[in-house]
């Protein structure tokens, strides 16, 4: 089965908004067993929309368009598609009642402009909009004259705003897809690793997975700041068993370097582990500038295990808040093993936490020296067992440097609390 998505909107082509529909719809459709084969974005002009939809109908069993169903002058998808399919637009009284009700509930008169939203192509299925006014539409194109063999296709039109599109897909379109297209078995499992580079990850696991690839499993590798994802996918009757076997092999190869699965972020894992073990965290951040604290506090429930962070950009703050000795700073400089050590010990003592992580380094773009080039960072971990310091070389742009360094610190917390 072939599925294509057509996103319309001039704001997309001007690069003024991010196209979140692609990821969201692709994810939902993959979960239903149908991997999208092609996604196209075009401006909302007449010829572009008709060309793109015609091409999609020439290949796909299911075509989903987004955008262009609203009440303003650039919302022209409904009209253009009806014209292309030679279908009349007919006023739909259910839609009219829904829109009247939508505005009545909000104590506002129905704008005349919404008249256009009540017009639907003849023969279309109509999905009232649970969170807005423009309905979704689905047309079975039969015979499909755009296809060489005339096989029918489904054409689904969804409104552009994510808060309208998403519930409509879940409530109305997913059931339609399930009814009209045989469920295909499709399994996707992502193992998220950290601490190993992308090419090394593949070297370590590819040969071991090869027998499963011969049984139809596909492997994908995706490098992110401070993480490499190994994605295992398969379709068909054997899908569950080959992906499970692949997961077991991958897990064995990478062991504790696997920090999570699918959408897990390392900070979520850290918060969960610390909650389970009833341990607390404090931070002393210099070069990460609050990034570690920010990521931990994005996780609901972080307040149960995270006591706080001291972001000490200035040397004076390292002395005052963490008790770093002036002579240590003078002898070794702020970016050094001894200062990292004193920062971690200071944070643990001052906050009274079980674990404390300290980071001090050179984020760049300036500030490097031959001994300590931009990207040099010292990470220290203090716990009941004492304190340990590691030196890393994270040669990246400033924001990636912060992200990668934070990832290393969080990963160390993950491993330390599990030990």
Q: Pick out residues in 211-270 that bind a second copy (CB under 8 A).
A: 218-223, 225, 229, 231, 233
Residue whose CB is less far from a second copy, 39 or 77: 39
Q: Which of 320, 369, 385, 418 is in the footprint of a second copy by CB under 8 A?
A: 320
Q: Which of 88, 140, 150, 398 binds a second copy (CB under 8 A)?
A: 398
- Both structure tokens of 236: 């068909």
Least distance in Å: CB of 82 to a second copy? Answer: 21
Distance CA 344, CA 321 (A): 11
Contact 254, 204 (CB under 8 A): yes
| Shortest distance, position 29 Cβ to a second copy, whole Å | 7
Task: Judge whether 287 and 360 are in contact, CB under 8 Å.
Answer: yes
Collapsed DSSP state (helix, strand, coil) of residue 367 = coil
Exactly one of 176, 272, 321, 337 binds a second copy (CB under 8 A); which one?
321
Q: Which residue has the tokens 């572009």?
A: 48
Instruction: Kindly tell me which of 294 and 325 has the beta carbon lying closer to a second copy.
Output: 294
Residues in the chain: 419
Does position 163 interact with a second copy (CB under 8 A)? The reply is: yes
CA-wise closest residue to 6 among 127, 19, 74, 162: 19
Kindly write out the interface string for residues 369-388 of this chain, putting x where it contacts a second copy by CB under 8 A and - elsewhere: --------------------
Task: Kindly write out the interface string for residues 290-319 of this chain, putting x where it contacts a second copy by CB under 8 A and - elsewhere.
Answer: xxxxx-xxx-x-xx--xxxxxxxxx-xx--
- Taking residue 141's Cβ as centre, other Cβ atoms within 10 Å add up to 20
Let me know: does 69 contact 78? Beta carbons within 8 Å.
yes
Q: By CB under 8 A, which span of 141-149, 168-176, 268-276, 345-353 interacts with a second copy?
A: 345-353
Residue 47 engages a second copy in binding (rule: CB under 8 A): no
Helix crossing, 337-351 with 315-322: angle to 10°? 40
Pick one of 175, 211, 326, 352: the residue that binds a second copy (CB under 8 A). Answer: 352
Of 77, 230, 267, nearest to 165 (Cα)? 77
Closest separation between CB of residue 331 and a second copy, Å? 21
Segment contacting a second copy by CB under 8 A, of 144-152, 168-176, 234-242, 286-294: 286-294
Q: Which tokens sit at 196?
A: 């190993």
Q: What is the C-alpha to C-alpha distance for residues 391 and 393, in angstroms, rounded to an integer? A: 7
We find the least distance from the C-beta atom of residue 350 to a second copy, in angstroms, to be 6
Is 218 within 8 Å of 210 (Cβ atoms)? no
Least distance from a second copy to the Cβ atom of residue 178, Å? 18
CB of 238 to a second copy, least distance (A): 19
Does residue 413 bind a second copy (CB under 8 A)? no
Task: State the number of binding residues for a second copy (CB under 8 A).
Answer: 111
Site for a second copy in 165-184 (CB under 8 A): 167
What is the rounded CA–CA span in Å between residue 406 and residue 402? 6
**What tokens were used for 392?**
């890393």
Residues from 76 through 95 that contact a second copy (CB under 8 A): none
Pick from 8, 92, 153, 190 the residue near a second copy by CB under 8 A.
190
The answer to whether residues 376 and 340 touch, using CB atoms and an 8 Å cutoff, is no
Nearest of 15, 12, 39 to residue 25 by alpha carbon: 39
């Amino acid at each position: 089965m072939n599925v294509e998505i057509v996103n319309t909107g001039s704001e997309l082509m001007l690069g003024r908004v991010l196209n979140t529909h692609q990821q969201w719809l692709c994810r939902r459709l993959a979960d239903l067993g149908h991997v999208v084969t092609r996604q196209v974005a075009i401006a909302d002009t007449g010829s572009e929309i008709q060309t793109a939809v015609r091409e999609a109908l020439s290949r796909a069993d299911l075509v989903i368009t987004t955008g262009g169903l609203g009440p303003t002058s650039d919302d022209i998808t409904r009209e253009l598609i009806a014209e292309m399919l030679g279908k009349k637009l007919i006023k739909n009284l259910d839609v009219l009642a829904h829109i009247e009700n939508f505005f009545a509930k909000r104590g506002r008169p129905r704008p005349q402009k919404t008249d256009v939203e009540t017009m639907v192509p003849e023969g279309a299925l109509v999905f009232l909009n649970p969170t807005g006014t423009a309905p979704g539409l689905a047309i079975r194109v039969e015979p499909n004259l755009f296809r060489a063999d005339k096989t029918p296709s489904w054409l689904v039109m969804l409104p552009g705003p994510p808060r309208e599109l998403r519930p409509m897909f879940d409530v109305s379109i997913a059931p339609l897809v399930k009814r009209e297209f045989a469920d295909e078995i499709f399994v996707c499992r992502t193992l998220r690793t950290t601490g190993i580079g992308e090419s090394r990850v593949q070297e370590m696991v590819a040969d071991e997975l090869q027998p499963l690839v011969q049984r139809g499993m596909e492997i994908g590798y995706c490098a992110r700041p401070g993480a490499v994802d190994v994605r295992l996918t398969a379709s068909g009757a054997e899908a569950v068993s080959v992906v499970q076997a692949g997961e077991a092999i991958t897990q064995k190869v990478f062991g504790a370097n696997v920090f999570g699965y699918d959408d897990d972020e390392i900070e979520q894992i850290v918060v969960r582990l610390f909650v389970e073990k009833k341990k607390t965290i404090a931070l002393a951040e210099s070069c990460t500038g609050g990034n570690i604290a920010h990521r931990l506090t994005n996780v609901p429930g972080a307040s149960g295990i995270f006591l706080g962070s001291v972001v000490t950009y200035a040397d004076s703050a390292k002395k005052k808040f963490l008790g770093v000795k002036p002579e240590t700073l003078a002898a070794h400089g702020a970016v050094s093993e001894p200062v990292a050590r004193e920062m971690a010990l200071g944070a643990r003592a001052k906050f009274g936490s079980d674990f404390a992580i300290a980071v001090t380094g050179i984020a760049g773009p300036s500030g490097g020296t031959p001994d300590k080039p931009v990207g040099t960072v010292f990470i220290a971990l203090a716990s009941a067992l004492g304190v340990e310091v590691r030196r890393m070389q994270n040669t990246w742009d400033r924001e990636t440097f912060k992200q990668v360094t934070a990832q290393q610190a969080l990963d160390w917390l993950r491993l330390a609390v599990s030990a």
